């Protein structure tokens, strides 16, 4: 019977699914997406800086040293010092902690909440979907930075509130993208099959639908990290974000940009470069991820 014919294909199949060593995969991906690999390197360097900040630099990021105020870059202070005599490189390294912490927590919380809400909206459909999408529209009507500023002005400044302020406008953006994918998933018979097997709504949404919209979700997360870093820097620059003396790139820019632009340009230039590179790196990485995960764009 066909049991025999079905098992015949097995041998051929086993050969196809030999897993490649990860190094080979990495090299292959680097060749295929050189820009993405560049972004990936920036991301890895940032994470490395954030993790080993204590080891990488001998200076304290928060302690003032007025005898070294506004020293130009030299061998001892590679990027110079700021108006309080603090080493700029040290503050940049510690600043990557703030940037990554805010960036990742906002991106993950925002995207995960958006993911669940988006899938739920698509799953229940009908009136729930309609009302939910209109609420999301209200949030989407304002640019990211305006919503974030409004929220900070309600809750006050500080790292925790900045995270809340950036996370909230991320939720509808992720929910909307995820919903559109989930609407397609909703129509596939295995969702009905799951209903026919007597699973609860929560189980179907979390276990059966959510894993199937992972591709857009991962892309959203990687894009969100870059955006969150930029938003945090913007809010800090405007004085609405992280507060002194916490080392944060936006704050460093604010402290240096206007007053010392001519006399000590290094105070503003380095944090500016750091912000640009970080956002650039995450965006390149995210784009490559999107291409790699999108079967339509993938070159075979």
Partner 1 sequence: MATLLKIENLKTQFFTSAGTVKAVDGITYSVEEGETVAIVGESGCGKSVSALSILRLIPWPPGKIVEGSIHFDGKDLLSLDEEAMRNLRGKDISMVFQEPMTSLNPVLTIREQLTETLITHFPISEEEASKKALKLLEMVGISDPDRRLEQYPHHLSGGMRQRVMIAMALSCEPKLIIADEPTTALDVTIQAQILELMKDLTKRLGASLIIITHNLGVVARYADRVNVMYAGKIIETGTALDIYHNPSHPYTLALLKSVPRMDLPRQDKLDPIEGQPPDLTRLDDGCSFRPRCRFAQDGCAHSFPDLEAVSEGHFVACFEKDNLKEQEKVAS
Instruction: Please identify, using beta-carbon distances, which residue of 212 and 243 lies nearer to partner 1.
Output: 212
Binding of partner 1 by 18 (CB under 8 A): no
Q: Which stretch binds partner 1 (CB under 8 A): 102-110, 201-209, 220-228, 286-294?
A: 201-209
For residue 187, the minimal CB distance to partner 1 (Å) is 10
Task: Give whole-number Cα distances, 192 to 130, 185, 204, 207, 300, in Å.
Answer: 21, 11, 10, 14, 33
Instruction: Please identify, using beta-carbon distances, which residue of 1 and 300 lies nearer to partner 1.
Output: 1
Nearest to 237 by CA among 145, 104, 147: 145
Count the helix, strand and coil residues of the chain and give each as a percent rounded to the nearest 5: 75, 0, 25
Instruction: Please identify, using beta-carbon distances, which residue of 199 and 280 lies nearer to partner 1.
Output: 199
Instruction: Please identify, using beta-carbon distances, which residue of 9 and 297 lies nearer to partner 1.
Output: 9
Q: Which stretch binds partner 1 (CB under 8 A): 3-11, 23-31, 89-97, 288-296?
A: 3-11
Among 34, 203, 239, 259, binds partner 1 (CB under 8 A): 203
In three-state secondary structure terms, 175 is helix
Binding of partner 1 by 192 (CB under 8 A): yes
Binding of partner 1 by 190 (CB under 8 A): yes
DSSP 81: B
Among 102, 208, 242, 256, binds partner 1 (CB under 8 A): 208
In three-state secondary structure terms, 87 is strand
Binding of partner 1 by 108 (CB under 8 A): no
Residue with tokens 């040293």: 65
Among 154, 197, 261, 273, binds partner 1 (CB under 8 A): 197
Binding of partner 1 by 12 (CB under 8 A): no
Binding of partner 1 by 23 (CB under 8 A): no
DSSP 68: G
Binding of partner 1 by 188 (CB under 8 A): yes
SS (H, E, C) 109-141: HHHHHHHHHHHHHHHHCHHHHHHHHHHHHHHHC
Q: Are 85 and 67 in contact (CB under 8 A)?
A: yes
Measured distance CA(271)–CA(60) in Å, rounded: 17
Cα angle, residue 169 at apex, residues 114 and 246 outer, rounded to 5° = 115
Binding of partner 1 by 72 (CB under 8 A): no
Among 1, 23, 75, 297, binds partner 1 (CB under 8 A): 1
Residue with tokens 């304290």: 60
Cα angle, residue 148 at apex, residues 270 and 274 outer, rounded to 5° = 15
For residue 23, the minimal CB distance to partner 1 (Å) is 25
Measured distance CA(47)–CA(172) in Å, rounded: 28
Count of residues touching partner 1 (by CB under 8 A): 28
Tokens representing 103 are: 């960036």
Binding of partner 1 by 2 (CB under 8 A): yes
Tokens representing 124 are: 């229940």
Binding of partner 1 by 11 (CB under 8 A): no
Among 3, 55, 297, 300, binds partner 1 (CB under 8 A): 3
Binding site for partner 1 (CB under 8 A): 1-3, 6-7, 9-10, 13, 125-126, 188-190, 192-200, 203, 207-208, 211-212, 214
């Amino acid at each position: 019977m066909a049991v025999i014919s079905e098992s015949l294909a097995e041998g051929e199949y086993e050969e196809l699914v030999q897993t490649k060593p990860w190094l080979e995969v990495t090299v292959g991906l680097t060749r295929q997406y050189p820009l993405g690999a560049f972004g990936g390197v920036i991301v890895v360097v940032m994470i490395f800086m954030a993790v080993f900040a204590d080891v990488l630099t001998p200076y304290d990021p928060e302690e003032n040293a007025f005898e070294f105020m506004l020293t130009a870059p030299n061998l001892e202070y590679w990027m110079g010092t700021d108006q309080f005599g603090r080493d700029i490189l040290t503050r940049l390294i510690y600043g990557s902690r703030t940037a990554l912490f805010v960036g990742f927590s906002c991106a993950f919380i925002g995207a995960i909440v958006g993911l669940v809400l988006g899938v739920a909206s698509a799953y229940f459909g009908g009136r729930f979907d309609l009302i939910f999408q209109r609420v999301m529209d209200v949030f989407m009507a304002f640019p990211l930075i305006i919503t974030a500023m409004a929220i900070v002005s309600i809750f006050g400044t500080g790292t925790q509130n900045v995270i809340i302020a950036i996370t909230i406008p991320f939720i509808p953006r992720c929910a909307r993208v995820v919903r559109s994918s989930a609407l397609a998933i909703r129509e596939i018979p295995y969702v009905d099959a799951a209903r026919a097997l007597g699973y609860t709504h929560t189980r179907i949404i979390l276990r059966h639908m959510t894993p199937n919209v992972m591709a857009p979700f991962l892309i959203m997360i990687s894009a969100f990290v870059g955006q969150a870093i930029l938003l945090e820097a913007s809010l800090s620059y405007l004085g609405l974000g992280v507060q002194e003396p916490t080392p944060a790139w936006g704050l460093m820019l604010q402290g240096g940009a206007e007053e010392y632009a001519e006399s000590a340009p290094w105070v503003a230039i380095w944090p500016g470069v750091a912000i640009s590179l970080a956002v650039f790196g995450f965006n390149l990485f995210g784009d490559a991820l999107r291409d790699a995960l999108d079967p339509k764009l993938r070159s075979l």
